[in-house]
Structure 1
Amino acid sequence: MRTTLFIADLHLSETTPAITDCFLRFLETEASQAEALYILGDLFEYWVGDDDNSDYFWSIKQALKALVERGVYCAFINGNRDLLIGHRFEQQTGVKVLPQETLIDLYGRPTLLLHGDTLCIDDVAYQAYRAKVHNPRNQRIYYWLPLWLRRRLVAKIRAKSKQGKQQKSAEIMDVNEAEVARVLRQYHMPLMIHGHTHRPAIHQIELDEQTTQRIVLGDWYTQGSVLRVTEQGVALEQLAFKK
């Protein structure tokens, strides 16, 4: 059976071995039997740049490369934690880095893929931050910094972000429904798939007298979370961590 898998918000790091182990087992088992795997952002907890070849990141790159070499199409959309994944990562892994908003044909169903942070427009502070870090000029300046300084800078940003989230309501950090409708109308898509909010669900949306779907991928904090799509339908599934 033809199968396409979608994941997001793994937040892999060397400090979360259970998540890493689950992900590597997933690549060797379910993903290796699929037609395609789409990673919709925040694969990593942080990403200081494609030139970071530490042992941990290299092991993840090699696992992805092995999946691609088995003939599985693998694609990635940058999240807010790993927005600097780029061309060198693509070369090292064979994983295709896609635009922030990507249209695909999913077994005859036009589908919009995105990380999902652009839909959270009620979080004004985050959107201002996002505009700064996505500015090409700012990214060039960042890459001029030595790797050790970038690591220190990213750690500081992560700590500040964690503190800021504690002061925000859950509603502010979720999608804005009007923005979801606007984007669906813009692309004329019957299906949208995204991550970022860590609220896995399949939403039915009545829009312009038509039923559309918005599927939200889950995070991997306490178990793996995978969207499985076949020609017969869709299903959100969980993967248990090893005890």
Structure 2
Amino acid sequence: MTGAGRTFFVADLHLTDERPAATGRFFRFLQDDVAGADALYILGDLFEAWIGDDHDERVAHDTARQLKSLADAGTPVYFMHGNRDFMLASRYAAQSGMTLLADPARLDLYGTPTLLMHGDTLCADDIAYQAFRRRVRHPLTRALLRHLPRSWRHRLARQARAGSTSAKAGKPAEIMDVKAEEVVRVLREQQVCRLIHGHTHRPARHLHAVDGRDCERWVVPDWYARWGYVVCDAAGCALTVENSD
């Protein structure tokens, strides 16, 4: 099977050496489905954690080779930062053959203006997370982190993951989902009627009424107990969700 005439979108793979099955699944997906496609867009959280472009997990090196092979064969690969891998920078992108995208990114997708986001900024009711996001994404913070010893950055990443798990346990589920009013605001501001994002791990197609028009929002699945993607062509988009092997 080839992906010719189609564009694929994935997010929230959370690849790590501790989850080799997900890594193998992703590599098979690249070879069996994406090869020959018009493009692959990775909408954040490709990795479980990213401490910098000197990240030393084996999965980082193996993933770079797989993505570079895909790009060299003619399928462009685009990467947007997530909340787990916002430290990924130009060195690793070049090694992987990826083009870095801003969040949000607007593109013409087979004639339909489409907005791409990781999705975390749409969770506007999670005030504590949004404040944390602003702090860690500040250029000075990122510059400081990059200059810390690698062992310190590994320790900070473990602490951040533990803190995130603890914080989620104490929050109502609706706070960690997108805010409908924020979705409408972004669609109106960007003048698009299609949005594709990840982050929430709640794959679905939603409709939002924006100034009298029905606009669609596609949520890309995570790759934990399941895996999947959104694929678009000239006729529209579709969501695929599969159970893990």
Same fold (TM over 0.5): yes
Q: Percent identity?
A: 44
Q: Secondary structure at the match of 1:172?
A: helix
* Secondary structure, counterpart of 1:49 in structure 2: coil
Question: 1:109 aligned to 2:118?
Answer: no
Structure 1 residue 53: Cα displacement: 3.8
The yes-or-no answer on 1:176 pairing with 2:176 is no
State the Cα deviation string for residues 80-134 of structure 1 (Å, max 9, x = none): 0001111111211111110011011100000000100001011011001100111
Q: Secondary structure at the match of 2:217?
A: strand
- Structure 2 match to 1:140: 143
Once residues 150 and 39 of structure 1 are traced to their aligned partners in structure 2, the CA distance between those partners, rounded to angstroms, is 24
- Give 2:5's match in structure 1, choosing from 2, 7, 12: 2
Q: Secondary structure at the match of 1:85?
A: coil
- The equivalent of 1:52 in structure 2 is 55
Deviation, 1:222, is: 1.4
- Closer/same/farther in 2, CA of residues 103 and 188 from structure 1, 3 Å limit: same
TM-score (norm 2): 0.96
Q: Which residues in structure 2 correspond to 1:5-154 (within 5 Å)?
A: 5-154=8-157
Secondary structure of residue in 2 paired with 1:204? strand
Partners of 2:192 and 2:90 lie apart in 1 by: 28
Q: Is the 8 A contact 1:19 1:223 kept in 2?
A: no
Q: How many residues get paired?
A: 242
The 8 Å contact of residues 75 and 96 in structure 1, kept in 2 or not, is answered as: yes
Q: Secondary structure at the match of 2:59?
A: helix
- Shift of residue 37, structure 1, vs aligned partner: 0.5
Report the Cα offset of residue 240 of structure 1.
Answer: 4.6
Q: TM-score, normalised by structure 1?
A: 0.97
Where does 1:191-202 land on structure 2 (aligned, <5 Å)?
A: 191-202=194-205
Whether the 8 Å CA contact 1:64–1:95 is kept in 2: the answer is yes
* Contiguous gaps of at least 5 residues in structure 2: none
Decide whether the 8 Å contact of 1:22 with 1:239 is kept in 2: no
In structure 2, what is the Cα distance between the partners aligned to 1:179 and 1:98?
21
Give, in angstroms, the shift of residue 56 of structure 1. 2.4
Cα deviation digits, residues 145-173 of structure 1 (max 9, x gap): 01111011111111111111111111000
- Listed one character per residue, the Cα deviations across residues 193-217 of structure 1 (whole Å, up to 9, x for unaligned) are 1000111111111110111111111
2:241 partner SS: strand
- CA RMSD across the alignment: 1.1
The residue matched to 1:113 in structure 2 has which SS? strand
Query: Does residue 157 in structure 1 map to residue 160 in structure 2?
Result: yes
Letter of the structure 2 residue corresponding to residue 233 of structure 1: G
- The runs of at least 4 consecutive aligned structure 1 residues that moved more than 6 Å come to none
1:229 to 207, 232, 242: 232
Deviates more, 1:106-115 or 1:219-228: 219-228
